Structures are given as structure tokens and as C-alpha cells.
Amino acid sequence: MSTVLRDARGQLLVLAGLAALLATVPFWLEGSARTVMIRIIISAGVGVGWNVMGGFAGQFSFGHAAYFGIGAYSSAYLLVDHGISPWIGMAVGAVLAAAFGALTGWLSFRYRLRGAYFALATFAFAEMLRLVVQGQEWLNGTQGLQVPVLAESSWWMLQFSTTSPNYFLVGLGLLVVLQAITILLFHGRRGMFIVAVREDEEGAEASGVDATAHKVMAVAVSGAMTAVMGTFFVQVFFFIDPALAFGPAESVAILLPAVVGGTGTLWGPIVGAAILIPLGEWTSKIVRDPPPFLDFVAGRSGIDLMVFATLLILILLFLPKGVYGSLAERFRR
Amino acid sequence: MSLLEVTHLSKSFSGLRAVDDVDFQVEAGEIVGLIGPNGAGKTTLFNLVAGRIPVDTGRVVFDGEDITGWTPHAIARRGIGRTFQLMRPFASMTVRDNVTVAAASSSPRLETARELADAVLDRVALAGMADEFAGALPTAARKRLELARALALDPQLLLLDEVLSGLTPAEREPLLELLVEIADEGRALLLVEHVMAAVMRLSQRILVLHHGQLLAAGTPDEVTSDPDVIEAYLGEEEQLAGS
């Protein structure tokens, strides 16, 4: 259950406290565990971005890979072909994603696509980008782009040694910025209008709110936020290709944290990511390296996904408004 | 010049003339009742004035400005508030936030809007429920919330679609008093209403719509003694009896 919350300062304080706590993580966590933490950060970041459109604005997106991919490819292309800093690429990606979101969003709303049809349209736009990028030689087609490894660490080029805590800290910083934007937006006038339009479009218009403009605004902001994490992803993993960037799997991965945590709630996507990523890690580890009494599952790929999906279904069965959404509602009174 | 001037307004839905060449005016501070049998085109007329559906022909002039073809939100901000027969609250938002949305649509500062919303809630006797979720309100409170949201626009004209129906007589009375008070501030009220006793008592003028056309207009006494009006309503009763 979402509402337009009144106390922005309180939420920002919670965020600051959480950030301070998490900032210590790379100093006591190393290796693959730290990589898992970075993946949680990325998942939370894209989830926070998706939630602006899919949760608060109530426009379910099944194609957020479009924005993630735009962010990833913008910075990767500028870096690989022109040696331009990923920070600039990140800004370019965010602007392009916002423009793409505004255009496709406006077209979809203009032609009154709703519900499943709207979701399908977002899916189609992402697939369209995937196919277009596959065919572009200057983007290296289906091969994708590889970030060149530098001789030494550089904040400006957003590249560090593999043992450096900086990747985690940069990701955390970006997540904090995205979450702070969400908190401020939905404690303000514009965010309130966006939620009102979700709740009842006709009622909102009769209250003097331009429904289409606020829906388009939500899509653009959401797209830009997701694109930022796309750039960060490329810098962490050094590689991007069309399927990874624009594929349906990515779209699903982006919507899951908010759905599992609670759509339209401030903390849902972050809670969702903190559950999903470790859960996925754990299920695949069980199959890779099972305890003695589960010997028979060893090496059978697919079982981990079945277990993962079953657990997801169970979570949503018992907490239909997401883990954070349902619990927050239960403890409100 | 009248506050609202509607001239030659028409709207058809797949051949059916829902509103057919309707002319009328509403003066500032006036309470006008819009009555007519079911399907007479009352809600369509509201939707045309509020910009919810595009007009086929005719003009809507409000406060000296031609607002024909304007979007609903622009018309709302220009000074026409409306309530919906099937209420449209922002269910998961608090009562206060529901009203704040309307107040904030023409005020750049959210704090000012919240203050205005609280004042309006006080007026409609909803202040005690300000922190409740709108979706959890009982019908009578929802009706008042609809009115509060429209009032928060500080409108010169209110289009009220059945604000009294579904209420008990005890709930109706304070609302009637409030409507008179609102009109005394110089705001015009155009109300569609099925509760005949209330509409006759409240309105200075009555417009009767039948088959999309303006059948009669005048004081409550004039209208109720008009043979055409009696026939239109009797006709409806016969149909009802026959079905």
C-alpha cells in the first residue's frame, strides 16, 4: 500500500543511516561475497528506477531493458570508440533514456494503451532496440562491446583494481542518489500528482492535474534512473551485448525487485533486491555443490531456477503486496 | 454576461443524439437544478461542459472565455469543479492528500495547498477523517470528499452530479446547508439530482432535459406545473411499470 508520505526528512535520514552502514561493507567483505553485494546494489538501483513508473505511476513496464541498455550502450560506445569518460556516458545515457521513455510513453498513452497492452508495448520497444542494435556495425553488432582494461585505477574513467572497494562504493553512491530522488519526488507536488493519476485518472484531471504529462514524466524519470545503473553495470562487468542489455531476461530482472519487495513503496525494490540476489545465488550454489542428502541434484541445471521460482511464488502467495509492502501494511496500525 | 453560457450544444453517440442543440446560462452565485428522466443526457451535458468528451457542435463560454475543446484539467484549473456520480477518490491516498492534489494543481507551494485542503476539509466536516485512506470511507463521507476536492480548486462554478443520492435524510440536511453557503459566496452550482424534494427546495432555476433536448426551464413552480414536463416524467413511469 502506498501513500504520499509526509515526512521526507525522516526517510532521507533512514537512507543516510543505511548508506553509512553499507559503506563499511567492502572493508570487511571480499571476493565473491562482495560481488554479490554489488549485484544487489545494481538490482536495487534498477528496481528503484522501475518502481517510479511501474509502481508509483502504475504503468507496468515489461521492457525496462530498453533503458538499461541505452545507459549501458551509451557509455560503452563513447568509452570504447572515443575514450570518453563513463561519467559523461552515464549522463548521455540518462538523457537518451529519458527522451526514449518520453517519446514511447507519450505514444502509448496517446493511443490509450492500458494494462497488458501497455506492458506488451514496452516489451516490443525493448525488443525493437535489441534488434536494431544487433544490426549496427558501429556498435559491434551481436558481438557487443568490451571495456578496455586500463593500466591503472582512475576515478574519472570509473575503473579500479578488482580488489578495490571503490566499485561497491560508487554503486552504493548511485543507489543512494536514485533513492533520494525517489523520496524527494514522492514527497513533493509532482509525485503526489503522479500517484493521484495512478489512483484515478479521471478524478485527477477533474482536480486540475494533467494526467498524460505526469505519466510521461514518470516514464522519463524512471528510464533515466535505470539507464544510470546500465552504465554502472558495464563498468563493473567490462562487457555488454545486445541480449544482455536489451533482452527480455533483463526486463524481468529489473521488474522483479519491486514486485517482490512491494510495488509503489519507497523501500520495496531495495528489500526485494536484497532477497532476490542472495536467493538466486543460494539456489544455484545448492545445485552446483549440494549437501550429501541432495546429491542427486548435482549438476542438473534448471533445478536451481525451479527452486528459485517456487520460492518466489511462495513469497508472493503469502505476501501479495511484496515483502516490504505487506509487512509495512501489517505494522502500520 | 453570464458566468456560463452554453449555446447550441450537441453531441451524438453512434447516431443517437445524447445532447441536442441545448442552450442555457448560469449566473454567478446561482443554484440551478438539472433534472430529467434516466438517459436524458444530464451526465453527457456535464461531461461536455467539463471537457471530458469533445463536443460535436456548439460553444461553451465560461467567465467570458470560450473553453470549448479545452482539456479537463485546464477547465478545472480555470474554475469549474465537478463531482462524479460514481465517486472517484484516490483510494490509497489519505483524505487530506486527496484534497491537497486539487488544491496543489494551481498552487506551486505544497504547504499552501495543504493548508487550503485542511480548511476545505473543515468546511465539509471531514477534518476528523483527514488521515484515513480515502478508499476506506463510507459513502456519505466519500460524497463529501468529492465535494471537498472540487471546492479545493476554488471554483466559480461547481458541477455536482448526484451529491445527495445515496444519503440518508439526516446526512442530507447539513450538506444542503453547505451548498447554500457555497452559493452565498458567489459560486454558481449546477446540480444533477434525483432527490426531487431537495433539488426543488435548493434551486432558483430548474432545467429539464428530455431525450437530449431542453424541454423546459424556469422556477421550480413553473417547471413542476408544465404539462410537457409532467408528461415526460409520467412517460418514464409507464415505461418502468411496463418493463
CB pair distance less than 8 Å for A193 and B104:
yes
State chain A's mean pLDDT as an integer: 93
Total domains, chain A: 1
A-chain residues near B89 (CB < 8 A)? 199-200, 203
Residue A201 in domain: yes
Shortest CA distance from B149: residue in chain A? A207
A266 DSSP 8-state letter: S
What pLDDT sits at residue B235? 64
Residue A203 in domain: yes
CB pair distance less than 8 Å for B76 and A208:
yes
Residue A140 in domain: yes
Residue A25 in domain: yes
Residues in a beta bridge with B191:
B33, B160
B-chain residues near A210 (CB < 8 A)? 71, 73
* CB nearest to B90's CB, from A189, A200, A210: A200
CB pair distance less than 8 Å for B88 and A3:
no
CA distance A202 to chain B (A): 8
Chains A & B: contacts with CB separation below 8 Å: 89
CB pair distance less than 8 Å for A206 and B92:
no
Residue A3 in domain: no
CB pair distance less than 8 Å for A210 and B73:
yes
B-chain residues near A189 (CB < 8 A)? 104, 108, 110, 113
Is the confidence at residue B24, as pLDDT, over 60? yes
Residue A1 in domain: no
Q: Which domains does chain B have, with CATH numbers?
A: 4-38+50-199 (3.40.50.300)
A306 against B183, higher pLDDT: B183
ipTM of the complex: 0.92
pLDDT digits (tens, 9 = 90+) for A4-48: 455 899 999 999 999 999 999 999 998 889 999 999 999 999 999
The one-letter amino acid code at A250 reads: E
Residues from B in contact with A at Cβ < 8 Å: 50, 52, 71-73, 76-77, 81-82, 84, 88-94, 97-98, 100-102, 104-106, 108, 110, 113, 133, 149-150, 152-153
Is the confidence at residue A283, as pLDDT, over 90? no
Taking the complete model, does pTM exceed 0.95, yes or no? no
* CB nearest to A1's CB, from B77, B92, B101: B92
Say if CB B208 and CB B214 are below 8 A apart: yes
Residue A2 in domain: no
Residue A297 in domain: yes
DSSP A157-216: TTB--TT-THHHHHHHHHHHHHHHHHHHHTTSHHHHHHHHHHH-HHHHHHTT--HHHHHH
Task: Kindly indicate the confidence band of residue B231, based on its pLDDT and cuts at 50, 70 and 90.
Answer: confident
Range of the domain at A116: 8-330
CB pair distance less than 8 Å for B90 and A208:
no
* Whole-number percent of chain B with pLDDT over 90: 78
Give the helix ranges, DSSP H, for chain B: 42-49, 72-78, 95-104, 110-123, 139-151, 169-184, 196-202, 220-224, 227-242
pLDDT digits (tens, 9 = 90+) for A70-118: 999 999 999 999 999 999 999 999 999 999 999 999 999 999 999 999 9
A-chain residues near B106 (CB < 8 A)? 208
Rg (CA), chain B: 18
Q: Residue A323 to residues A10, A297, B206: CA-CA distances in angstroms?
A: 21, 29, 55
A-chain residues near B152 (CB < 8 A)? 207
Task: Kindly indicate the confidence band of residue B1, based on its pLDDT and cuts at 50, 70 and 90.
Answer: confident
Top residue of A4, A7, A207 to mutate, by most chain B CBs within 10 Å, is A207
Q: Among B203, B183, B142, B159, which residue's Cα sits nearest to residue B62?
A: B159
